[in-house]
Amino acid sequence: MFRATLSMLVFGISVATSQTVSAKDAKTGEELYMHYCATCHGIDATGQGPMASVLVVQPTDLTNLTDEDGLFPSARVVARIDGRDPLVSHGSPMPVYGPFFDGQDTSMKTPRGQPILTSQPIVDLVAYLETLQD
């Protein structure tokens, strides 16, 4: 009985720790941004990329996302990137490169401490976008 209880305790701890908050890598996020996002949002992330003129809805200025309290809207940004909050202007759920951002499940926290299940590339991309805020 003790052995079964101990095994369940170890299993529970391993499951709980497998969904730890992931470290953010803004440098990797910048590389992802330049490869996947700059075409529409521009190298300077102000929404003036070379493809902006062909989109139905103009790309957002990603340098001005913080709210009036100065908090970065992590949950909203993650939902937009991973397709939970799709954009029609792309002709499909955003991003166009959605499958690249799938998998590698991890989590991150919003500035208010709310956990968000996402992927490591999105965690890194969000970390980079946070560095761009005015």
pLDDT tens digits for range 64-74: 999 888 999 99
pLDDT of 1 over the 80 cut: no
C-alpha distance from residue 8 to each of 5, 11, 14, 17, 20 (Å):
5, 5, 10, 14, 19
Provide the CATH number for the domain formed by 25-131 in this structure.
1.10.760
Instruction: Give the integer Cα–Cα distance in Å for 37 and 41.
Output: 6
**pLDDT given for residue 91 in this prediction:** 57
Domain map (residue ranges) of the chain: 25-131
Return the higher-pLDDT residue of 105 and 22: 105
Return the higher-pLDDT residue of 5 and 115: 115
pLDDT of 95 over the 90 cut: no
**Three-state DSSP state, 111:** coil
C-alpha distance from residue 130 to each of 39, 45, 62 (Å):
19, 12, 9
**pLDDT given for residue 22 in this prediction:** 59
**pLDDT given for residue 14 in this prediction:** 40
Which band of pLDDT confidence, cut at 50, 70 and 90, is reported for residue 19? Answer: very low
